[in-house]
Amino acid sequence: MIKKIAILTSGGDAPGMNAAIRAVVRMAVYNGLEVMGVRRGFAGLINGELFRMDRHSVSDIIQRGGTMLRTARCEEFKNEEVRQKAANILQAYGIDALVVIGGDGSFTGAKLLSKLGVAAVGIPGTIDNDLSYTDYTIGFDTALNTVHDAINKLRDTSTSHERVSVIEVMGRRCGDIALYAGLAGGAEGIIVPEKNFDKEELIRTILDGKNTGKMHNIIVLAEGVGGANELASFIENISGLETRATILGHIQRGGSPTVNDIVLASRLGAKAVEVLMKGETARVVGIRDNQIIDEDIDEALAKKRNFDDNLYEIAKILSL
């Protein structure tokens, strides 16, 4: 039986992390558990940056972007002695279990910490949607809406000037942001790390579009493939069409979470507490076919990512 849990956010931030924190704290309090917040991820944990939380600690954060607990990267956490220090601090506060909101790196940290006697559960918080065991991660939907809005604005100005617009989006090695936002934004080209990039085909698409009366060309490029500036120069040199590059960067990480992200974060936060109360450890929570699930961390991280080839083909056909 666990009595006291701690919660932290780690790695890259994502809109909806606050809603997940709120769900964990409120569900834990509802079930009679004590809760402590940890500031600045694993870095704050080894520094002893803990504070008591109650249901009011998470008032008015459900709609806010960022994370009230702040986040950090902590390279030293890969070192066993440092993790032992973290476990000692948690023990000193009588904490039996830790909720970690973050991506795959954070989950690995949580898994290793769980071997030192602290129960741990991970909640997927990353805009990249790069965790294969779950259909969606918290923050992905909000980032898509941010990118979609940017594409629409860039389309207006591209059309006015009859330009080609290359838009670089985040996602590390995962092309999901580019794919979904590109489809929704009617992009003529979507370039992702999962698919072979045929430069000549792209030039043909752009020129064919011009010849059939297209006023603009929107090319969405996932950051994992390469730089937007190089691609824009290449397109301009070969096609002769004026081409501008826009790197959306960190605006994709900010903003108020969408309803989808808030609902997902609330469901996952509630599930994380439920999993810990069952006495489980080294688990992650996620969503599959709209069911909230939990799974062993190692098994979850070992899953191979499934890129949606079908959606990619549809996006191509629809933008012809």
> Which residue numbers belong to the known binding site?
12, 22-26, 73-74, 103-106, 126-128, 155, 163, 170-172, 186-188, 214-216, 223, 244, 250-253
126 binds ligand ADP per the rule CB under 6 A:
yes
d(CA 87, CA 74): 15
Task: Phi first, then psi: give them for residue 134, nearest 5 degrees.
Answer: -125, 145
Nearby residues of 19 by Cβ (< 8 Å), 6 or more positions away? 61, 62, 63, 138, 257, 261, 262, 265, 266, 269
Shortest Cβ 111–ligand ADP spacing (Å): 8
CA distance 68 to 95: 20
In one letter, which amino acid is 96? D
Instruction: Find the binder of ligand ADP among 2, 7, 8, 12 (CB under 6 A).
Output: 12
Known catalytic membership, residue 128: yes
Among 47, 105, 207, 210, binds ligand ADP (CB under 6 A): 105
Q: Is 134 in the site for ligand ADP (CB under 6 A)?
A: no
Q: Could you tell me where the DSSP H helices lie in 162-248?
A: 176-184, 199-211, 228-239
CA separation (Å) from 66 to 226, 251, 256? 27, 11, 8
| 166/170 with CB nearer ligand ADP | 170
Point out the annotated binding site for Mg(2+).
104
Q: Are the C-beta atoms of 296 and 286 separated by less than 8 Å? A: no
Least Cβ distance, residue 143 to ligand ADP (angstroms) = 14
Based on the shown chain and the rule CB under 6 A, indicate whether residue 173 belongs to the binding site for ligand ADP. no
User: Per rule CB under 6 A, is residue 42 in the interface with ligand ADP?
Assistant: yes
Segment interacting with ligand ADP (CB under 6 A) among 101-109, 191-199, 216-224, 250-258: 101-109
The answer to whether 178 and 167 have CB atoms below 8 angstroms apart is no
Task: Confirm or reject binding of residue 104 to ligand ADP (CB under 6 A).
Answer: yes
Number of alpha carbons in the 13 Å side-chain half-sphere of residue 42:
30
What residues are designated binding site for ADP? Answer: 22-26, 155, 186-188, 214-216
Helix pair angle (228-239, 199-211), 10° resolution: 60
User: Is residue 103 a contact residue for ligand ADP (CB under 6 A)?
Assistant: yes
CB of 31 to ligand ADP, least distance (A): 27
State the nearest-atom distance from the C-beta of 77 to ligand ADP, in Å.
Answer: 3
> Which is nearer to ligand ADP, 278 or 303 (by Cβ)?
303
106 scored as a contact of ligand ADP (CB under 6 A): yes
Count of residues interacting with ligand ADP (CB under 6 A): 17
Catalytic residue among 13, 128, 130, 261: 128
Distance of CA 70 to the CA centre of its chain: 16
Helix (H, G, I), strand (E, B) or coil at 247: strand
Q: Does 224 participate in binding ligand ADP (rule CB under 6 A)?
A: no
**Complex with ligand ADP: residue 76 or 198, whichever CB lies closer:** 76
CA separation for the pair 224, 84 (Å, rounded): 35
Active site residues: 128
Residues that bind ligand ADP (CB under 6 A): 10-12, 42, 73-74, 77-78, 102-106, 108-109, 112, 126
